Structure 1
């Protein structure tokens, strides 16, 4: 009877996790995709604003280089004003972080976009900067953070249900079942993260030419990161983004599909 009760409780928890996840769906106004999210855009904005100062401190705070900060803000605002991103409710702000060694860029939900001095100094053109920032803007408008929160709650719920179903008080070693479930949930999160990165690349290919920049500059960014990946201090960017070599192929396909007659020559690199 005790074992049956465990299975009933586990089934209820799993069903509740599925219902909560799949009932929270909305159509993304930029990508047109149906997404499962549990946060409103206002909640995303509030979360990003709340987390921004702490995230900045992890990279030495904001850069003191006023000229470089101005370039980042100008290019970022140009992307927003020229694309659908500017028609969303998100409050975009572009920040240059003081860390000169770490090569990274990331976006918080709601529109807080960051790039380190280390990555900025590794780039060779304004077009490459535009590609990086457009990619991060893609994460925001793609609502990838909100999706990850919802997926995390689903996998946590399923992991908890699996742990309850597998646990035997007479054989405590079976608690390892919960650890296995947790490992599976991490693999699912990694897979979704890679899909998000490729979608952000696709949005960058859409956004950069609309802002007047050559989308092929993003390929140059990947080549730069790929070169640095072989060093003793690989870019932190690569810890959260897929292999640059693999992404180059996807970028080339997206650019060819967007410009079957070739990329216009008047776009800035």
Structure 2
């Protein structure tokens, strides 16, 4: 029995060590943000992954909204943000999609530049600047390479959990998984704040009013209602905290 336990420990330790080495070897500096990150994909792989996933994501939200003028407006604002910011320096293929979903107030980005906004959110926006705030935030996720970074973090966590389950105890692995989930939520909140910061910069580079992003936060706050998930249990910061950070970003870039 002791021999079997020792073998399991060695195998488990090997799995963990491999995961850690793989994670550490993925470190690189994002040339557009200057941030050191652990990245699971290169830019070309991000583009391919985003293009492959885009049709399914659109289908989950009822397909594309059937209004060419609205779609052209979204394209116009999105392309203006890209063409006037560091986003243009990247190798990503930015494409903007207005989804038919009239119930889910949301916008999101896939790796490589595929960006979506639901009609439910689009219809709540009061002006072009607010649309620029939404799209600028999502472009920030792409430039920040947040999806590729989360995939690297997830790969590390899965490797550690598998090693613990093999070498020690599946129940211990479950406890570690809960801790890992909380860490991933924290990473998610940091990504959102960085995307807000980049979105402000992109708006200002494109001569949009960045203060209109605060109005977007009010829309998101109202949509969440009084029973919204507490910040510590969510991948998104509370809208009120985001407003304070957005105001700080506006002052920072105005003073540059």
- Fold match (TM-score > 0.5): yes
Instruction: Map 1:198-209 to 2 at 5 A.
Output: 198-209=193-204
Q: In the comparison of the two structures, how many residue pairs are matched?
A: 251
Contact residue 100 and residue 116 of structure 1 kept, 8 A = yes
Distance across 2 between alignment mates of 1:103 and 1:144: 21
From 147, 150, 153, give the equivalent of 2:149: 147
Q: Which of 212, 224, 231 is equivalent to 1:217? A: 212
- The answer to whether 1:242 aligns with 2:244 is no
Structure 1 residues 61, 233: closer, same or farther in 2, change over 3 A? farther
Instruction: Find 1:133's aligned residue among 132, 135, 139.
Output: 135
Q: Superposed, which structure 2 residues align to 1:99-110 within 5 Å? A: 99-110=101-112
**2:13 matched residue in structure 1:** 11
The residue number in structure 1 matching 2:174 is 179
| Partners of 1:18 and 1:154 within 8 A in 2 | yes
Alpha-carbon contact 2:12-2:168 (below 8 Å) kept: no
Against the structure 1 CA distance between its residues 232 and 253, is the aligned structure 2 distance closer, same or farther, given a 3 Å change threshold?
Answer: closer
Residue equivalent to 2:191: 196
Structure 2: where are the runs of 5+ without partners?
Answer: none
Mapped contact 1:134–1:204 kept (Cα < 8 A):
yes
Kindly state the Cα deviation for residue 69 of structure 1 after the two structures are TM-superposed: 0.7
Between 45-54 and 63-72, the greater mean CA deviation after superposition: 63-72
| Unpaired segments ≥5 residues, structure 1 | 168-174, 262-269
- In 1, distance between residues paired with 2:5 and 2:26? 32
Q: Distance in 2 between matches of 1:151 and 1:209?
A: 32
**Residues 156 and 185, structure 1, Cα contact 8 Å, conserved in 2:** no
Alignment partner, residue 48 of structure 1:
50
2:107–2:116 Cα contact (<8 Å) kept = yes
Q: Please say if residues 159 and 185 of structure 1, whose CA atoms lie closer than 8 Å, have aligned partners that are also in contact.
A: no
Relative to structure 1, the CA distance from residue 30 to residue 144 in structure 2 (aligned partners, 3 Å threshold; closer, same or farther) is same
Residue by residue over 1:38-69, the C-alpha shift from the partner in whole angstroms, topping out at 9 and shown as x without a partner, is: 21100000000000000000000001011111
Query: Which contiguous aligned blocks of 4+ residues in structure 1 show a shift greater than 6 angstroms?
Result: 231-234
Aligned to 1:39: 41
Equivalent residue runs for 1:77-96 within 5 Å: 77-96=79-98
Q: CA deviation at 1:232?
A: 8.1
The Cα of 1:201 is off from its aligned counterpart by 0.6
Asked if structure 1 preserves the Cα contact closer than 8 Å seen for 2:185 and 2:234, the reply is no
Checking the alignment, whether the CA contact within 8 Å between 1:63 and 1:98 is kept in structure 2 is yes
Partner secondary structure for residue 237 of structure 2 = coil
More displaced stretch, 50-59 vs 216-225: 216-225
- Deviation at 1:28? 0.8
SS state at 1:113 partner:
strand
Helix, strand or coil: the match of 2:123?
helix
For residues 217-239 of structure 1, give each alpha carbon's deviation from its aligned partner in whole angstroms, at most 9, with x where no partner exists: 111100121122216899xxx97
